[in-house]
Structure 1
Amino acid sequence: MPYCEVGTQQSSVGGKLNNGINIFYRTYGCGPTKVLLIIGLAGTHESWGPQITGLTGTTMANGGGTMTVCAFDNRGMGRSFVPTKKSEYTTRIMAKDAIALLDHLGWKKAHVFGHSMGAMTACKLAAMVPDRVLSLALLNVTGGGFECFPKFDRQTFSIAFRFLRAKTPEQRAAVDLDTHYSKEYLEEFVEHDTRRTILYQEYVKGILSTGMQSNYGFEGQLNACWTHKVTKTEIESIRSGGFLVSVIHGRHDVIAQIYYARRLAEKLQPIARMIDLHGGHLVSHERNKEVNQALLDLIKASEVKMSPHDWTDLPKKSSSWLGTRMPLIRTNTQGGSNVSFALFFTERLHLFLLYLFGLLVLIFDYGRKAIRSLKPVRVGASLT
């Protein structure tokens, strides 16, 4: 079994690494171009299937082609080690896992692509060791914390309620479909069955084959998302890293809202390109051809050393950090100031509603556990 024992080799980032953690990984293809794939919450390396095939032309280890792709199971999931303390799950710690894997593989530089929580981890990695990154792709990403809360509507409440009540692979698979894909995609017919029917069978089979994710792993990875934050210093580190960035998002994502992804892309000007596709949270599966092409375009642009100003498709901003917050203050022609609180109030109201929603979810979850007086529900793996 291919494992990387984190901390056994000399650290390339200095200081103590995450000793005693075994990370399961697989490599595909065989070529000079190196690509590291970092999956999201409750996902395994297999969740990158469409991208592995699209980039290497094979799902076989050590196959041909011009690229070598490595995908791995994050700590707390799949065949990787499962720490029992929440404090052992942060995007910075998980970025160190990924850096240790690069060292283990002997890769000095690589294109780093992440999805959801994996994109948060990829951001940390790029900020920590920008000299190791050839390009950075962030799929369905947010800035962590409150930005991880989904849209505040009836559909969200339904998904959250069903998610908390999911006790079996079948129940988890059913709610995962509504979480990962757009409604239109699920209702499309493929020959005689809808995609929902086909994917439901695949999800149940996948959950049964990988086993149920432990509570330690699931709650730990949630903690990594909740505590994630990209600082101004980290943004500047990425912007000055000398590589290009693609922010790829499904515009119908109910988990990671596209507003936050676009805001992150704007902060990364002029090195970032924003690509929004008609899809849900798992846009890498729903629109795999478009996503794969976007990744190939990013790799090619990096290889020919395209100028960031030729790469970006974002409008120029007068402020690199304040971004969309600048229009809050307007100066009138009479010399006075006219301060508009409309946008400010709307944003704060949204954050309050998200906080309230999260609090209600926590109360429901703890209440359910107290009533049952049993061990917590074990959550199955998904493709997130």
Structure 2
Amino acid sequence: MPYCYVGTQQATDDAQLNNGLKIFYRTYGHGPTKVLLIIGLASTHDSWGPQIKGLTGTIIPNDDETGIADWNSCRDDNENGSGIEVCAFDNRGMGRSSIPTRKSDYTTKIMARDATALLNHLGWKKAHVFGHSMGAMIACKLAAMVPDRVLSLALLSVTGGGFQCFPKFDRQTFSIAYRFLKAKTPEQRAAVDLDTHYSKEYLEENVGTDTRRSILYQQYVKAISATGMQSSYGFEGQVNACWRHKMTRTELDLIRSAGFLVSVIHGRYDIIAQVYYARRLAERLHPVARMIDLHGGHLVSHERTKEVNQALFYLIKASEVKMSPRDWTNLPKKKSWWTEKSASYFRSHRESGGSVSFTCCGYGHLTRHSMKDPKENQHVVN
């Protein structure tokens, strides 16, 4: 089985110490274009299945002796998949990777180092880095730590960590959170996973004589039974990593100035990671970021596979042709601090029936018009 050995401690020169902790990974497809996929909380590498298939044309790993034959047979049918090699792996604390017992061994920065060690292990100097949920937080850290290793960055179902990980407080999400924490069997976990991963509308669709919910339920039970329930050490550690995650202004500046493009992809009905925070992160990465919101839930990569895969291909292609950030972004130009404050001041006075001085109004008017950008009225995507 393919493993990459990493460490849980740091030496004084910031080099990783190898103390036996291992990361399980799989590669798929062949070609000069490299893509690293980083999965989220309580998930294994194969949760990237729809993207692996879409990008490479196969779901048979390269270490399987039938992998090359399968890829060759699919290559003619999926020309988009040719020329791309993908690596997906289990984060520490999940699947076949090691499970440290200390919470302090789980942070997005430490897990980004795991991902960087894997790039070194594979001999990949640069790669497109795509992350989902917690994996997107890890991808952000990696991009800030080693920006010279990143060709492009895709952040799916992402938040800024900490309190942003809390879903909207209503009866539905409270019930789902309670069931998630109480789930002790594959059946219980599968039932709650469906409600956290997909939109209600999607689950209620009919597929033949069954609903999509009943079909997915059987698939989830089978998958969870095969891999086993996540260890409490791994679950608590990964939750700790999400809670402690934060991107500083310096880190965001590093990503913005690194020269690669960013795509933020999110489901509008995601109850785990609210789309508001994803859009705010995209805005903070202006002008290199593009915002794509789709009709879907937290696992939008499964619910809207075709659209997500198209967005990923477009990101890869745009990076290869070195598209300028101005042509890439669909976000309005960031406004100055004064413009934002003055606009807020005017709104509050209008709502309260107050008045403002001609001088203040005139300056605000001039500021708004002098900084107006022709893209300001664009809708943030679809």
TM-score for both structures, normalised by structure 1: 0.83
Query: 2:215 maps to which residue?
Result: 198
Q: Report the CA distance shift for 1:324/1:227 in structure 2 as closer, same or farther (over 3 A).
A: farther
Give how far 1:323 is off: 10
Alignment of 1:3-82 (within 5 A): 3-6=3-6, 15-17=14-16, 19-20=18-19, 21-62=21-62, 63=68, 64=71, 65-82=82-99
Q: Structure 2 CA distance, aligned partners of 1:259 and 1:324?
A: 18
* Residue number in structure 2 paired with 1:376: none
- What is the distance in 2 between the residues matched to 1:278 and 1:19? 44
Q: Does structure 1 retain, via aligned residues, the 8 Å contact 2:282–2:291?
A: yes
Cα drift, residue 24 of structure 1: 0.2
Corresponding position of 2:185: 168
For the 8 Å contact 2:35–2:86, the answer to whether it is kept is yes
Tell me the equivalent position of 2:155: 138
Distance 2:104 2:15 in 1: 16
1:155 & 1:213 partners in 2: Cα distance? 24
**How far 1:16 sits from its partner (Å)?**
2.6
Aligned to 1:223: 240
Alignment of 1:152-191 (within 5 A): 152-191=169-208
SS of 1:136's equivalent in the other structure is strand
In the alignment, structure 1 residue 254 sits paired with structure 2 residue 261: no
1:19 & 1:201 partners in 2: Cα distance?
40
> Which of 131, 156, 172 is matched with 1:114 structurally?
131
Pair 1:308-2:307 in alignment: no
Distance change in 2, residues 1:33/1:87 (3 Å): same
C-alpha change, 1:51 and 1:327, in structure 2 (3 Å) is farther
Q: Does the residue aligned with 2:25 lie in a helix, a strand or coil? A: strand
Matched residue type, 1:72: F
CA contact (8 A) 2:40 2:131 kept: yes
- Residue 158 of structure 1 deviates from its aligned partner by 1.3
Against the structure 1 CA distance between its residues 14 and 184, is the aligned structure 2 distance closer, same or farther, given a 3 Å change threshold? farther
| 1:166 Cα deviation from its structure 2 partner | 1.6
SS of the residue 1:212 aligns to: coil
Whole-Å separation in 1 of the counterparts to 2:204 and 2:186: 21
Q: CA deviation at 1:324?
A: 7.3
Contact 2:158 2:273 in 1 (8 A): yes
In the alignment, the residues of structure 1 paired with residue 4 and residue 255 of structure 2 have an alpha-carbon distance, to the nearest angstrom, of 26
CA distance in 2, matches of 1:18, 1:288: 39
Instruction: Judge conservation of contact 1:267–1:323 (CA < 8 Å) in 2.
Output: no
Q: 1:257-312: CA deviations, max 9, x gaps?
A: 00000000000000000000000000000001100000000000000000000000
Aligned mates of 2:344, 2:151 — CA distance in 1? 37
Equivalent pair of 1:7/1:16 in contact (CA under 8 Å): no
- Partner letter of residue 49 of structure 2? G
Matches within 5 A, 1:344-355: none
Q: CA deviation at 1:336?
A: 6.6
Number of residue pairs matched by the alignment: 333
**Unmatched 5+ stretches in structure 2:** 63-67, 72-81, 350-355, 362-382
Superposed CA RMSD in Å reads 2.1
Contact 1:249/1:261, CA 8 A, preserved across alignment: yes
Distance in 2 of aligned mates of 1:107 and 1:156: 41
| Equivalence for 1:333 | 357
Gaps of 5+ in 1: 338-384
SS of the equivalent of 1:213 reads coil
- 2-side partners of 1:325 and 1:248: how far apart? 29
Q: Secondary structure at the match of 1:173?
A: helix
**C-alpha distance 212-326 of structure 1, shift in aligned 2 (>3 A):** farther
Distance 1:17 1:305, change over 3 A: same
Distance 1:122 1:276 in 2: 19
CA distance in 2, matches of 1:18, 1:329: 54
Quick one: distance in 1 between partners of 2:339 and 2:281? 10
Mark the CA change 1:285 to 1:326 in structure 2 (over 3 Å): closer, same or farther: farther
Q: Does the 8 Å CA contact 2:185/2:229 hold for their aligned counterparts?
A: no
Q: Deviations over 1:143-169 (max 9, x none)?
A: 000000001111111111222222211
**Which amino acid in the other structure matches residue 311 of structure 1?**
W
